[in-house]
Structure 1
Amino acid sequence: MTLLAVRGLEKSFGGVKAIGGVDLRFERGAVHSVIGPNGAGKTSLINMLSGIYRPDAGSIQLEGQELAGQPAHRFAAAGIGRTFQNLQVFFNMTALENVMTGRHLRERHSLAAALLRTRALQRAEAQSRQAAHDLLRLVGLCGQDDTRADAMSYGALKRLEIARALAAQPRLLLLDEPAAGLNATEAREIDALIQRLAEAGTTIVLVEHNMALVMEVSDHVVVLDHGRKLAEGTPHEVSSHPGVIEAYLGSAETPAEEAEAAHA
């Protein structure tokens, strides 16, 4: 079953088309990877799928709910979570506190309850702490509940950000370069984590340059080049596609990439 359907998606920066008329379908419970050479439009795509960029044209539907043009918090409330290539964690908080911040979309407390510290609020906070603890264990950070983020390794912080994204209970999880900057051991940990999430039924869209990771975890791969869909299929199918091979061999920086960087 299709969880997310994208039709005719377009985005330009300063007259340079970063995404040009892309159609995509992301099936429930699968790992979908989006790859491509530098300047292919991957960053623009994932930013539109999470509401950070407003598309110039096209449709983004999550189980029939139209999200294109909505603000980012509407995407999150609908059930789309994401991580960022550049870490977005609170370094002055503990690991547990960081994950608990990701639960705010799923919690409803009145101002009066917060001021009076009602029993219902205390029970909810205890449940939130337990849920955050369980997520830290899931991502391989068991025993680090009280560790401040600024004392954690870069690889651990990458997994912490995934745990925080999962705290909002997303139906679709967008992972933006989760293995970027990691050594081989840390990349294998991310590999194993993605496979655990997929086995548990989480639908994942992965944007990643680590091709070994992509080929290991993906059910379906989409290849972008110059803002258009070049190929899609199984990892084996796209890795042997002549157009994909040519695109990667000629992966020089493009005007689209420069326009995206200037916009960011």
Structure 2
Amino acid sequence: MKKVTIGDLIARKNREKIVMITAYDALFARLFDDYADMILVGDSLNMSFGGKNETIGLSVDEMIYHAKAVQMGAKRAFLVVDMPFGAIYSKKVALKNCIEIYKKTGCDAVKIEGGSEIKGIVKALSQNGVGVMGHIGLKPQLSRKEGGFKVAGRDEESAKKILDDALELELAGARLLLLEGIPSELGKKITNSVKIPTIGIGAGSDTDGQVLVWSDAFGFYDEFKPKFVKRYMDGANLIREAMKNYADEVRNIKFPSSQYEYTK
């Protein structure tokens, strides 16, 4: 199948919704690739699979490892890689780390959290040939500073700041925007104000596309469910039941039966 490009995504703005989901390995990337337009190697893996309570803590090398695995499974979807906390604290460091990820993973864009304060970094990356997806609204990498994961843009002043951030990032060269944890009215206003595609997660239905963390969407991470998450299957309990059946059969010498054994 034809590889999804940034041109394809931009052409779909205001026409056809864009489907995005996270993945962290080749196995699930391959399963998602036929249906997802975009795959995000998100720093959410620190929570979903690392057992942590925040996204902070991942290194550039860890993101490269997971992104290279995803790239092996995702042949069609547009591939975006999260820049981990601390990886873009200066223009020089951001260029080094983003270019390294871009070269080693074969990704189509990097995603960076921040508003107008990082527009210089976005411009430098764009000028050096790196595709950038901005991330505004609720910024998980600031959860420790903000005292948790809080919906952003609920008052007039903060909503205006987020809209201004969107316009500044687009002007700086961002090709995509991720809008997280904002009122749906603001998601719609931003989407109508920029020419680049917006992908929402807890930002309403009027964005150009949607993204969910796969372990949330399919019920594998059941310790906490954000309001914006719809579960499309009860993955955790399906796995528990299957594991129980496997363990029972091993302990009761029902597996392996002759059907699963080699003969001379």
Q: Which structure is higher in strand share? A: 1
TM-score of the superposed pair, with normalisation by structure 1: 0.35
> Is the radius of gyration larger for structure 1 or structure 2?
2
TM-score of the superposed pair, with normalisation by structure 2: 0.35
Q: State the structure with bigger RCO (CA 8 A, min sep 6), 1 or 2.
A: 1
